């Protein structure tokens, strides 16, 4: 795969496909070559070339945590984003993230409790009644209509202990937001939400020692866990009030477009739209969440990785495009570096540009100390701030990044010239 990177990211073992700029600007007579010596790197950087194209099929790739904005833009530019249709018509007026966070927090807490009870009932052999889910799905839908970023972002925050319950709430919110972006009917949106809540109900009957294992699963343990879609589907067939959409998503949310998924290895059009949606929403929440065996990935890093997987045949491109539109290329909570050499956290999306969200500064790069928080809408006219790279919290010693967007924000600064 071809990837455009900055020359500061170039390393030995990478295969240069093309140097950006005129051949007169660099000392290499070959158009393509493998970087095998440090002096090659030195010559490229001293020549003033800022970017190169590498071929990751013939050499090393950039480590995921080091991939910068230019690479992210290059990858996502290959996914053709069509213009949005007119916004969904609703009687509920839109509101700011700050205004919705408190209400969304109550809904998330309610959802966690409801799903915990449902999983406990399943373990006790009680019948499932999905009609009990409808009030929760309604509340989540109303929150999405007011401000999708609030409940989607709050549901991402979970401990490893309550992952199973909160994952269901998060996937429900993501499915509803995606359904809205795809302009599905209210009835189908409701069913998509129900599907998100119960898509993993089969995990309730998986062995707890495997479900909560802190390390990697063995081949035998993984084979057991791969049985949860079928187990859930079998239970839902006997449940009350379960429609075809939740049944389908429960059984097929681990199928892949290229046929390498499970349980049936379905391929391409054999996978329904709703199951394709479920696959995207399930993976995003899984990789951005803290688990017993790993720390969740940064939201923007996760979007980039999913774009790579989509090109490799994992997801439906059109569904992933709509998903990215629904949460942003830099979702709320993403950590970024600005041109002013400050670290900032994404606190909201901008309607003007997927690549120019609303950010809040939290750290000075030079001193590695906290800085005065300033908020910028990067898409605003005259704003000269811009994102230059994604960052990870571990590199900067940050342990509570999410606190910087969960609490009321200062007014957006007028200091665009800084």
Q: CA–CA separation, 44 vs 36, rounded Å?
A: 13
Give the total residue count for the chain.
418
Burial label, 218 (beta-carbon count in 10 A; 0-12, 13-18, 19+)? exposed
Q: CA–CA separation, 260 vs 312, rounded Å?
A: 11
| Mean of all residue pLDDT scores within the chain | 86
Q: What is the pLDDT of residues 257-295, one digit of tens each?
A: 999 999 999 999 999 999 999 999 999 999 999 877 788
* pLDDT value, residue 11: 85
Min mean pLDDT across 47-56, 114-123, 220-229, 305-314 is at 47-56
| pLDDT at 414 exceeding the cut of 70 | no
Q: Do the Cβ atoms of 133 and 262 come closer than 8 Å?
A: no
* pLDDT value, residue 45: 78
| pLDDT at 310 exceeding the cut of 90 | yes
Higher local confidence (pLDDT), 91 or 357:
357
Buried/exposed 31-66: b ≥16 CB within 10 Å, e otherwise: eeebbeeeebbeebeeeebebbbbbeeebebbeeeb
- Report the share of the chain in percent with pLDDT over 90: 58
* pLDDT value, residue 417: 35
HSE (CB half, 13 Å, CA atoms) of 128? 30
* pLDDT value, residue 387: 95
* pLDDT value, residue 411: 45
| pLDDT at 412 exceeding the cut of 50 | no
Question: Where does the pLDDT of residue 77 fall: very low under 50, low under 70, confident under 90, or very high at 90 and above?
Answer: low
Higher local confidence (pLDDT), 239 or 193:
193
Burial label, 364 (beta-carbon count in 10 A; 0-12, 13-18, 19+)? middle
Q: What is the pLDDT of residues 234-248, one digit of tens each?
A: 999 988 889 999 999
* pLDDT value, residue 95: 82
Higher local confidence (pLDDT), 24 or 61:
61
Q: What is the mean pLDDT of residues 49-57?
A: 81
CATH architecture of 97-327: Orthogonal Bundle (1.10)
| pLDDT at 413 exceeding the cut of 80 | no
Question: Where does the pLDDT of residue 75 fall: very low under 50, low under 70, confident under 90, or very high at 90 and above?
Answer: low
HSE (CB half, 13 Å, CA atoms) of 417? 0
| pLDDT at 64 exceeding the cut of 60 | no
| pLDDT at 74 exceeding the cut of 90 | no
Q: What is the mean pLDDT of residues 80-104?
A: 67
| pLDDT at 398 exceeding the cut of 70 | yes
Q: What is the mean pLDDT of residues 106-130?
A: 92
| pLDDT at 92 exceeding the cut of 90 | no
| pLDDT at 338 exceeding the cut of 60 | yes
Instruction: Please report, for the chain, the start and end positions of each structural domain, with discontinuous segments joined by +.
Output: 2-62, 97-327, 335-406
At residue 9's C-alpha, the angle toward residues 330 and 74, to 5°, is 45
Min mean pLDDT across 55-69, 239-253, 357-371 is at 55-69
Q: What is the mean pLDDT of residues 337-365?
A: 93
| pLDDT at 21 exceeding the cut of 70 | no
* pLDDT value, residue 73: 63
Q: What is the mean pLDDT of residues 299-307?
A: 93
Q: What is the mean pLDDT of residues 324-350?
A: 94
* pLDDT value, residue 252: 98
| pLDDT at 299 exceeding the cut of 70 | yes
| pLDDT at 67 exceeding the cut of 60 | no
């Amino acid at each position: 795969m071809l990837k455009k990177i900055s020359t500061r990211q170039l390393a030995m073992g990478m295969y240069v496909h093309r140097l950006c700029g005129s051949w007169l600007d660099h000392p290499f007579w070959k158009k393509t070559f493998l970087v095998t010596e440090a002096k090659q790197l030195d010559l490229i950087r001293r020549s003033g070339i800022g970017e190169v194209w590498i071929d990751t099929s013939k050499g090393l790739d950039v480590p995921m945590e080091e991939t910068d904005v230019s690479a992210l833009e290059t990858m996502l530019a290959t996914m053709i984003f069509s213009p949005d249709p007119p916004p969904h018509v609703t009687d509920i007026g839109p509101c700011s993230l700050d205004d919705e966070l408190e209400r969304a927090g109550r809904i998330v807490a309610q959802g966690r409790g409801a799903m915990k009870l449902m999983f406990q009932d399943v373990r006790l052999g009680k019948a499932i009644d999905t009609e009990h889910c409808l009030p929760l799905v309604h509340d989540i839908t109303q929150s999405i209509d007011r401000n999708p970023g609030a409940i989607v972002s709050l549901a991402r925050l979970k401990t490893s202990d309550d992952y199973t319950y909160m994952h269901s709430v998060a996937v429900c919110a993501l499915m509803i937001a995606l359904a809205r972006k795809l302009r599905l009917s209210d009835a189908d949106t409701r069913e998509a939400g129900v599907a998100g809540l119960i898509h993993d109900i089969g995990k309730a009957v998986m062995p707890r020692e495997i479900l909560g294992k802190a390390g990697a699963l063995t081949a035998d343990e993984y084979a057991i866990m791969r049985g949860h879609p079928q187990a859930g589907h079998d239970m839902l067939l006997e449940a009350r009030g379960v429609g075809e959409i939740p049944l389908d998503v429960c059984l097929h949310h681990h199928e892949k477009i290229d046929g390498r998924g499970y349980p049936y290895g379905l391929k391409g059009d054999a996978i329904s739209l709703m199951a394709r949606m479920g696959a995207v929403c399930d993976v995003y929440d899984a990789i951005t969440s803290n688990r017993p065996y790993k720390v969740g990935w940064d939201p923007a890093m996760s979007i980039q990785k999913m774009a790579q997987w989509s090109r490799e045949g994992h997801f439906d491109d059109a569904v992933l495009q709509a998903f990215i539109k629904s949460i942003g290329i830099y979702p709320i909570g993403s950590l970024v570096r600005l041109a002013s050499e400050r670290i900032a956290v994404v606190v909201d999306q901008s309607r003007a540009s997927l690549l120019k969200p609303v950010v809040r500064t939290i750290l000075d790069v030079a001193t590695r100390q906290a800085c005065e928080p300033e908020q910028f809408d990067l898409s605003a006219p005259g704003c000269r701030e811009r994102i230059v790279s994604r960052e990870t919290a571990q590199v900067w010693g940050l342990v509570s990044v999410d606190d910087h967007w969960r609490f009321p924000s200062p007014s957006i600064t007028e200091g665009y010239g800084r």
